[in-house]
Amino acid sequence: MVRRLDARLLRVTQLVGVVVLACWVAVLAGTVLQGHRTSSYSDLVSAVRSGDATEVQVSPGLPARASGHATVEIRWRDGLLRRTTSVVEVRGRQTGHRSDATTAVLRRPVPDALRARDPDLEITTLRRDGGGFGVSAELLGWTAPAPVALGYLTATLATLLLLALGPEPRRVTPWGWFWLILLTGPIGSIAFLVMSGVLSRTPVAPPMRPRTGGGWAFILALALGSVAGTLNG
At residue 165, the pLDDT reads 86
At residue 9, the pLDDT reads 74
At residue 157, the pLDDT reads 95
DSSP string, 7-46: HHHHHHHHHHHHHHHHHHHHHHHHHHHHSEEE--HHHHHH
pLDDT 10s digits, 213-227: 555 655 665 655 654
- Helix H or strand E encompassing 83: strand 81-91
Q: Across all residues in the chain, what is the average pLDDT?
A: 79
Decide: 113 and 61 in contact? Cβ < 8 Å.
no
At residue 140, the pLDDT reads 74
Q: For residue 89, what are the contacts with CB-CB under 8 A and spacing of at least 6?
A: 61, 62, 69, 70, 71, 72, 106, 108, 109, 110
Decide: 38 and 101 in contact? Cβ < 8 Å.
no
What integer is the mean pLDDT of 23-36? 91
pTM comes to 0.71
At residue 138, the pLDDT reads 75
At residue 5, the pLDDT reads 44
78 vs 228, higher pLDDT: 78
pLDDT 10s digits, 119-158: 999 999 987 544 444 556 777 778 888 888 899 999 999 9
